[in-house]
Structure 1
Amino acid sequence: MLDPSAILVPSRMRFILSLLLAIFLLSPALAQEPPAAGAAPDAAAEELIRILEDDAARAELIERLRRAAPAGETAAEPAAAPDLSIARQLAEYTRSVAEGASTTLRALANAAANIQQVFSGSASADADALRMVAVNIGLLILGLFGSFFLLRLITNAIGRRIAARMTGAGLMRRLGGLVLALLADAASLVVAWALGYAIALNTGTMPGGQMGINQSLLLNAFLLVELSKLAIRLVLAPRFAALRVLPIRDDDAVYWSFWLGRLLSLIGYTFLFVAPMLAGVVSPAAGAAAQVLVMATAVTIAIVIVLQNKDDVRNWLADMARRRDNDGLGRILVIIGQYWHVLAITYLLALLLVWFANPERALPFMIGATMQSLIAVAIGSLVVGFISRFVSAGLSLPEDVRQRLPLLETRLRAFVPGVMAVVRWIVIAAVLLAIGQAWALFDFVGWVSTEEGLAVAGSAVSAALIVLIAIVLHVVVASWVEYRLNTSIGKMPTPREKTLLNLFKNAFTVALAIFGGMLALAQIGVNIAPLLAGAGVVGLAIGFGAQKLVQDIITGIFIQFENVMNEGDVVAVGDKSGVVEKLTIRSVTIRDLAGTVHLIPFSSVDQVSNMMRGFSFHVAEIGVAYDSDIEEVKAAMREAFERLMQTEHKDEIIDDLDMQGVIGFAASAVTVRARIKTLPGKHWAIGRRYNELVKAIFAERDIEIPYPHITYVQGGEARASGRVLRRGRDEEAGPAR
């Protein structure tokens, strides 16, 4: 370790200071060019390292360096971090505005001084040059605009003839006629522009017949301004109502064409010709002054136009809202109609102030932002208008599709308007984002370009796609089930297919809604694990609190597995019987013979009796009198069956008559049984028809079907039947009669 007393030697101290200064001056070069490999540090560097490693020596060195600094010299303060607060930004902006306004005022003052100097004769050479420029420009203006005026008279006559021929024509013919008329107008513009160039070349101020720069400025301004006015005439067609494509009145077309043309001429000719000419001939301040005056005049005219059309625009927007039945967008249109003129005037005044403050940077920004906003609003209006027209026009499917899927059109009419409404609001949000991006209110594109923005945008798009796919899947599956259950096309569905397909549609819809919602929430960053856990806890609580519901579902599952009944079956469930109209996993809906609908939960079902499974039997149990001949009764029942086989029910009977004979003795009748095997559910109609035939044949064969009655008989002739007594009386009374 170095002795501390060594640093007190003045010669060594001077050496160290010289070494530090050299290192400081050579540090950039050392940073750019590293030392060669293997180069050993010299003795001075080693000595400095040893001094800096010792705390006492290092402290003494720092103290000597401070005493050696010049008096009054202080260490430089570290550079302050840039202040990005809103107050500082506002201060910077107001300072730039003040500086811009001061520059503009100085330009106006200089322009006035230069003009006064020219006309006072203090600068005769400049005045002579100015007069020469004025003569040449005057000749050019006279020739250019005079020829254009004469050519416009010819093109207007051509346009009137074209419009006369297009009266009452269709849209495409009118559009073609409008293009022809404007081509003639454009030809007159090009011819006048060419004549202007010829005049400029012959009256040029440059030697050798060359054209002056001011004449070139005028010709270029003429071409650009008149082409812009030609585009306005293409849209509004103020002179030719028969060629107009837009549904606007004649006076409105003339009004807007006049004022837009005047504003374009005022601003265009000033900025493209007058201001550059004054800047070159008089002074740059004169050109700036002309621009400022013209901008103030144009803004004043625009404010007057806004105030003149305040009520018309408000009524137009209110009418649009009424056509939309004052929905959400309609209410927004009403609010805009109430305050649109305030917003427009504020914008125009802001434009003027920005022009005064910073015409080089702020005005191009505002014009660009305005154009981008107008383009975004135009595109959004076209998309929203198309969506509204599509929804209002309705959705009509082809006839063959409606026959195959009769409920698809109704389902789409209920589904499409909702989706279109969501799309419409998405378009409106996109327009607002585009306007905010254009006016630099926020950097949405820059944010989306970042990792976080891409993640958020991707999550939102993924969630929207999941919801859309879920909706499409629901429509597809519901349409497929509807197609399979359609009895007019294809294979006739069985009752089991009807039941299972309806259960599948309901279960699929519930599962799709749950899983689609969960996946969509997961895409937007929602942690669905607590939701799943909460759903499990809630399900367990519901299971304990609603045991009947759980019992309904479990019993319904086993009933479906066992396939004991399906939709359309005639069943007896508990004390209710009827046709199964609807079968879910929890309950069964039955309509009885009187038309009453019974909803029976499966938890209250002890047994199910299905009367339509496989085949059915009509059991004919007929009571006859005790004195009837049983063989004759059987023969009569067989004859009734033979007649039944000749009716429309013959295809519904699947076996011969099963004659079982006498099955019991009642108080006043002998019961004879026979069975008819039929298709499932056909035994009721067949049994009714068979009973009618049996009744008729028994009457033909004089076979009595006993019924409760009272018969008076004489003592010795009392029999179990009163028929013999009647016959005896009839025989005795016969000769007398």
Structure 2
Amino acid sequence: MFGKSKIIAAALALALLSYAAFVPGSPAQAQASAQLAEQTTQSAKPADIKPAQIETLLSTLKDENERNALISKLETLLAVADKESEVEEAEAGIATAMSDIVTGISDFLQEAVTRLSETAIALTDVKSLVPLFNDLMADPGDLFVLAEWIGIIAAIVIGGLVAVHIVSRLIRRPVDRLETWAAEGSLLHSLAVFIPVLLLRALRAVVFFAVTQGILTTIDATNVQLAGRAFVFAVTFHLVSLAIVHTLLKPTGPLSRSLQVPPATGAYLSVWANRVIATGIYGVLGLDSAYILGLPYATYLFLEKVVYGVLWALTIAFVLQNRSSFGQTIAQRRDGSSRNPFWSLLAAVWHLIAIAYVTAGLVILMSMGDAGFLRLGEIAAFMIGIMIVWRLGWLAVDTAGRHLFSVSHELTDRFPSLEKRANRYVPHVLGGARVFISIAALGALLEVWGLQLSTFLASENGQILIRALATIVLVGGGAVIISEVVSLFVERRLKVLEETGTLSGRERTLLPLLRRAVVIVIGVLAIFVILSEIGVDITPLLAGAGVVGLAIGFGSQSLVKDVISGIFLLIEDTLNVGDYVDVGGKTGTVEALSIRTLRLRDVAGDLHTIPFGSVDVITNMTKEFAYALVDVGIAYREDADAVMKLLSEIGNEMVEDEKVKESITGPFEVFGVQDLADSSVNIRTRVKTRAGTQWSVRREFLRRVKRRFDAEGIEIPFPHQTLYFGEDKDGSAPPAYVKVSQARARKQGKDGAETGAEAEDYFQTANPEMADAEAARNAEKDAQDAERRRREEEQAKAAEEARETEEELAHDDPVEMIEDGKDPDKKTRS
């Protein structure tokens, strides 16, 4: 602890530094913030304060104007400090809130484990039976008194049960009639007879209670009366419970019919309900009777915990017996499928949840005693109510999804992709609503079990968490909505322009790029805001992004070049989607443009992706307008002027043609003779067309030119070549040896006549020696062909003779052959 002098010194130092920092003209004004921060975090020493500073402070305090100025400056400093602390608290709010939640859950689990261990210890506390044995061994005569009292109570109960038996026989016929009528009818019949049948069956409990209470009033022993009443209450409750269970789970009961419970399952559930109810009622109220009759309190408490343990064991056994069957019932939907992951998970772990619930109930009963029943009933009621509200919330979400999120035909016509986009997000919105409802239901369940979430949410940290979550949801949802609105606007704009015929290539290209850029920017901003809300300091992220961007800039200069080139090309409207261009030696139609590349589809269907940075020259053949340029070649013998006049007539006919003139935007032009080529005289023509139609106009023009030239007899020359063999000094040309050879191939039909021939003509120029060599080769080849034909004819003749011999032998009679002296076994020999 600081002494009084040190406190005064620190205050004076703070005042002097504040005055020196904020009084106009003070030498220390430039260093005010640093000195103030340093002095407020350290303890000033008296030796650090100089008399001159004290005098300055005193003079300031004595002057009213300077004093007010100093007070104003100090208040400003305080306000700034408060704002900074609020910002720091807001930044740390999410982390603190999450820490509080984790701490609360940890404390809750630790308390549950502690109580569970205490319950286990209580169930094994066998020494609590010692007082009972001590009392019985102290006075054996008390055993006879206890036996007498038990006999009296048993006789009273037997009398009541006899009355119950009589009433059961009396109500059997009306109950059977009502149940038969319900079985023959619908579910409404079962609901109608539910109350009458229940009242008739509960009449047995009323009669039993009346008879036993009447008998108990005749007994003078107070202890016997109290113990008997406790046991009578137990039997009465048991009879009422049996009436309710049997009425609900009978095959004609409303519960069995609404849930379609098979009779065997209903009987099985009735048996287990009777076990649990009987154990609980007779165990607890029977111990009350025993306590009234003199059971020691310590033994009573121990046996009561044992009863609770038996109830817990019976319930756990029931859960484990039905683990698989009930799990399959949960997992299967009405259509028999089991593709819902939530229900599949619940089917796999439902028994663990049930065991945890039953164990928690055991802990409550152990810790609260008789009041635990009321607490368990309260918890069960709240849980049933919460589950009903949760289910109704899910049904409301499903109903809203079917009706509220439907898109009208008018909106579909205006925005064709609206329904598709809505269907993309509606499942996520509905899923988010279901998650929110489930989280709220889970929070309510935890609240019922003692985890004070409402207290946390009402605290400052809870409010910070709620605001942060709301901000995250609003920012994320707003980002998605803005992105979709921009997309719808772009699509709507493109559709309107396309319908009106005013859609330009520039808009077709830039509007999708604008949409993509807006979506990226909004997404990045939303991510940074969300990270800031969850407590992540985005300053290092921004700095790191800058460093990464710098590294990428140095390491990917070609990428930067592509992007910059693409930006300028798009701004200058050099090419657009749908244009037919020549880029980098590749010609085709532009299919897509990005900020870095373009995709080009050529005539063969190949797709070329070309970075903008590699483009030197772009030839756009569909920009605004085009020319169909045609060079028509005619023979040298034709009249060029007459042909130009004919071409002009053909062009003018096309301009006036309804099928073609929509593509032509200017007059037909004949420039004249363009070139005297090797084998033709070329005449150039041109006509102005709409962009992209010049090729079809050119094809149509060439078709008409061919047809008219054929009709007018105008020759369209083709390339030909003149061979020149040179000449001697005297002007005579050397001889050219030309040999023409014809080779015929003959084919014989059935009648032996010649059906066709092939001839091959060729010429050869050579000296006489080459001609003689060629003649020798041809003679040798002819001789070989003749020899081959001779062998083929001999083989054919031999085959024909063999066939005739075989036919002759096949028709001979063996008897005649024997008479003629021939061997019949050799008739098949060829």
Q: Using structure 2 for the length normalisation, give the TM-score.
A: 0.58
Report the 3-state secondary structure (helix = DSSP H, G, I; strand = E; otherwise coil) of the residue aligned with 2:476.
helix
Matched, 1:657 2:668: yes
Give the equivalent residue in structure 2 for 1:159.
179
- The separation in 2 between residues aligned to 1:480 and 1:451, in whole angstroms, is 42
Give the equivalent residue in structure 1 for 2:513.
503
Matched, 1:595 2:605: yes
Return the match for 1:557 from 541, 544, 567: 567
Matched, 1:254 2:254: no
Tell me the amino acid that sits aligned with residue 182 of structure 1: F
Equivalent pair of 1:640/1:690 in contact (CA under 8 Å) = yes
Structure whose alpha-carbon radius of gyration is higher: 2
- The separation in 1 between residues aligned to 2:575 and 2:672, in whole angstroms, is 33
Give the equivalent residue in structure 2 for 1:693.
704
- The separation in 2 between residues aligned to 1:301 and 1:92, in whole angstroms, is 21
- The separation in 1 between residues aligned to 2:518 and 2:145, in whole angstroms, is 95
Shift of 1:656: 3.5
Give the equivalent residue in structure 2 for 1:295.
308
Give the equivalent residue in structure 2 for 1:36.
none
- The separation in 2 between residues aligned to 1:148 and 1:496, in whole angstroms, is 93
Shift of 1:600: 1.4
1:23-65 CA-partner distances (Å, limit 9, x unpaired):
xxxxxxxxxxxxxxxxxxxxxxxxxxxxxxxxxxxxxxxxxxx
- The separation in 1 between residues aligned to 2:201 and 2:436, in whole angstroms, is 44
Shift of 1:333: 5.5
Tell me the amino acid that sits aligned with residue 308 of structure 2: M
Query: Equivalent residues in 2 for 1:338-353 (5 A)?
Result: 340=351
Matched, 1:263 2:276: yes
Tell me the amino acid that sits aligned with residue 253 of structure 1: G
Shift of 1:583: 0.7
User: Where does the alignment leave 5 or more consecutive residues of structure 1 unmatched?
Assistant: 1-83, 167-173, 714-737
Report the 3-state secondary structure (helix = DSSP H, G, I; strand = E; otherwise coil) of the residue aligned with 2:575.
coil
Query: Equivalent residues in 2 for 1:411-490 (5 A)?
Result: 436-440=446-450, 442-485=451-494
1:512–1:703 Cα change, 3 Å: same
- The separation in 2 between residues aligned to 1:255 and 1:688, in whole angstroms, is 89
1:701–1:327 Cα change, 3 Å: same
Over the residues paired in the alignment, what is the CA RMSD in angstroms? 5.5
Query: Equivalent residues in 2 for 1:501-540 (5 A)?
Result: 501-540=511-550
Equivalent pair of 1:636/1:698 in contact (CA under 8 Å) = no
1:93–1:498 Cα change, 3 Å: closer
Shift of 1:536: 2.2
1:574–1:301 Cα change, 3 Å: closer
Query: Equivalent residues in 2 for 1:54-133 (5 A)?
Result: 120-121=144-145
User: Where does the alignment leave 5 or more consecutive residues of structure 2 unmatched?
Assistant: 1-106, 220-224, 725-830
- The separation in 2 between residues aligned to 1:603 and 1:514, in whole angstroms, is 27
Give the equivalent residue in structure 2 for 1:708.
719
Give the equivalent residue in structure 2 for 1:638.
649
Moved more, 636-645 or 612-621: 636-645
Equivalent pair of 2:182/2:252 in contact (CA under 8 Å) = no
Equivalent pair of 2:592/2:598 in contact (CA under 8 Å) = yes
Query: Equivalent residues in 2 for 1:375-414 (5 A)?
Result: none
Equivalent pair of 1:612/1:681 in contact (CA under 8 Å) = yes
1:94–1:555 Cα change, 3 Å: closer
Tell me the amino acid that sits aligned with residue 447 of structure 1: F
- The separation in 2 between residues aligned to 1:202 and 1:463, in whole angstroms, is 70
- The separation in 2 between residues aligned to 1:311 and 1:566, in whole angstroms, is 64
Between the two proteins, the alignment pairs up a number of residues equal to 602
- The separation in 1 between residues aligned to 2:110 and 2:533, in whole angstroms, is 39
Tell me the amino acid that sits aligned with residue 164 of structure 1: E
- The separation in 2 between residues aligned to 1:665 and 1:549, in whole angstroms, is 50
Return the match for 1:576 from 578, 581, 586: 586
- The separation in 1 between residues aligned to 2:132 and 2:386, in whole angstroms, is 37
1:88-134 CA-partner distances (Å, limit 9, x unpaired):
9999998899799699758977998999988734999xx69x95x88
Report the 3-state secondary structure (helix = DSSP H, G, I; strand = E; otherwise coil) of the residue aligned with 1:654.
strand
Return the match for 2:634 from 624, 640, 658: 624
Shift of 1:325: 6.5
Report the 3-state secondary structure (helix = DSSP H, G, I; strand = E; otherwise coil) of the residue aligned with 1:563.
coil
Return the match for 2:197 from 178, 185, 189: 185
- The separation in 1 between residues aligned to 2:232 and 2:675, in whole angstroms, is 125
1:229–1:410 Cα change, 3 Å: farther
Equivalent pair of 2:621/2:692 in contact (CA under 8 Å) = yes
Shift of 1:698: 1.6
1:620–1:247 Cα change, 3 Å: farther
Tell me the amino acid that sits aligned with residue 642 of structure 1: E
- The separation in 2 between residues aligned to 1:222 and 1:653, in whole angstroms, is 105
- The separation in 1 between residues aligned to 2:138 and 2:386, in whole angstroms, is 45
Tell me the amino acid that sits aligned with residue 702 of structure 2: N
Report the 3-state secondary structure (helix = DSSP H, G, I; strand = E; otherwise coil) of the residue aligned with 1:506.
helix
1:135–1:479 Cα change, 3 Å: farther
Tell me the amino acid that sits aligned with residue 703 of structure 1: I
Shift of 1:523: 1.2
Give the equivalent residue in structure 2 for 1:678.
689
Shift of 1:150: 4.8
1:409-457 CA-partner distances (Å, limit 9, x unpaired):
66666666667777777777666655655444x5433322221122123
Report the 3-state secondary structure (helix = DSSP H, G, I; strand = E; otherwise coil) of the residue aligned with 1:566.
coil
1:585–1:258 Cα change, 3 Å: same
% identity of equivalent residues:
25
Shift of 1:264: 3.2
Shift of 1:154: 3.0
- The separation in 2 between residues aligned to 1:376 and 1:417, in whole angstroms, is 24
- The separation in 1 between residues aligned to 2:255 and 2:458, in whole angstroms, is 50
Equivalent pair of 2:197/2:247 in contact (CA under 8 Å) = no
- The separation in 2 between residues aligned to 1:115 and 1:296, in whole angstroms, is 31
Shift of 1:692: 0.8
- The separation in 1 between residues aligned to 2:111 and 2:273, in whole angstroms, is 41
Report the 3-state secondary structure (helix = DSSP H, G, I; strand = E; otherwise coil) of the residue aligned with 1:185.
helix
Equivalent pair of 1:644/1:693 in contact (CA under 8 Å) = no
1:536-555 CA-partner distances (Å, limit 9, x unpaired):
22222222222222222222
- The separation in 2 between residues aligned to 1:226 and 1:630, in whole angstroms, is 123
Report the 3-state secondary structure (helix = DSSP H, G, I; strand = E; otherwise coil) of the residue aligned with 2:616.
coil
Tell me the amino acid that sits aligned with residue 453 of structure 2: F
Shift of 1:256: 1.8
